[in-house]
A = this chain, B = another copy of it.
């Protein structure tokens, strides 16, 4: 297979972890006789510094002309506490999602058996957890009208959803449930929000096409509790943009390391793959950033093109590296100095 892949390393540890997944994808290409072509472009704070824009036109063009996008991470503290900054790294990511129509963010959360002890949660609570979160990614309060009054004393954000936006991701979630444990939990706040009541109505309607899948409802506040009390109760979680942001980050803690979690953002035409973790600026260039989330996002990329065997091989490599303690310091209690690139090398060699 021939694939053109846009690489957007972004800020902080983004570049160093992305380098490892490219390494791994190149090994896959060689082993399975594929042709993967990589083209890099800037996004985020690094793009602002270079061009004044967090998502330069050229970067967007590149993304639109390739088959898939491998994304690193963005964000820089120098913009975080500056509420009046006109340009912010995050805008690049949001614009990318919107322009490419990446309406569904898919985040698998799994408790790896050999990492159970790393979790802040008790072993018996998390063992066996296997959740797939479907977060709507191009609607809701993220993209609704924003207003700041002229005197700067009132500000607002509009959370808006249409039937169409809800339907398309709901179908994806139910289809996914069919390949899993046949259960979808809709997380909303239908006792307060009009938009949540629309979600509940539309999802209920769509669910009639999937009579083999059970549909549950959970208010977001209760979901935030249930995620810690009993994460095993969940199979597929379906939710709107902001709730998905919060609940999926909360869930990311279960497995013991956010450094292991990958995500796919998909739409009708494009697909982007990225680790869940942020740019983690304090760790930049220290060789301590865990590349596994990025490497697993490369595996999700392969899945997307139905290269299942290839993806599986990457996952095997990851499992073995975990088993053998070939991991960065965040996970490693045994060896001190296994660096980001050493982990990448190991999985490359394995392949």
Hey, which bits of chain A sit against chain B, CB under 8 A?
Answer: 75, 79-81, 83-84, 88, 90, 94, 120-122, 125, 141-142, 144, 146-148, 152-164, 189-195, 197-198, 200-201, 217, 220-222, 224-225, 227-230, 242-243, 245-250, 252-253, 258, 278
Q: Which of B80, B191, B248 contacts A90 (CB 8 A)?
A: B191
Q: How far is the CB of A69 from chain B (nearest CB, A)?
A: 21
Residues of B within 8 A of A120 (CB): 121-122, 125, 228-230
Contacts of A224 in B (CB 8 A): 224, 246-247, 249-250
Number of copies: 2
The answer to whether A190 and B121 have CB atoms under 8 Å apart is no
With A121-B122, A222-B249 already in contact, 16 other A-B pairs whose C-beta atoms are closer than 8 Å: A75-B191, A80-B191, A120-B228, A146-B194, A148-B194, A154-B161, A154-B163, A156-B160, A156-B194, A156-B195, A157-B193, A189-B245, A225-B250, A225-B252, A229-B253, A246-B246
Tell whether, in the assembled complex, residue A193 and residue B141 are in contact, meaning their CB atoms are under 8 Å apart: yes
- Shortest CB-to-CB span from A220 to chain B, Å, is 6
Inside 8 A of A81's CB, which chain B residues have their CB? 200, 217
Set B90, B122, B148, B159: member contacting A141, Cβ < 8 A: B159
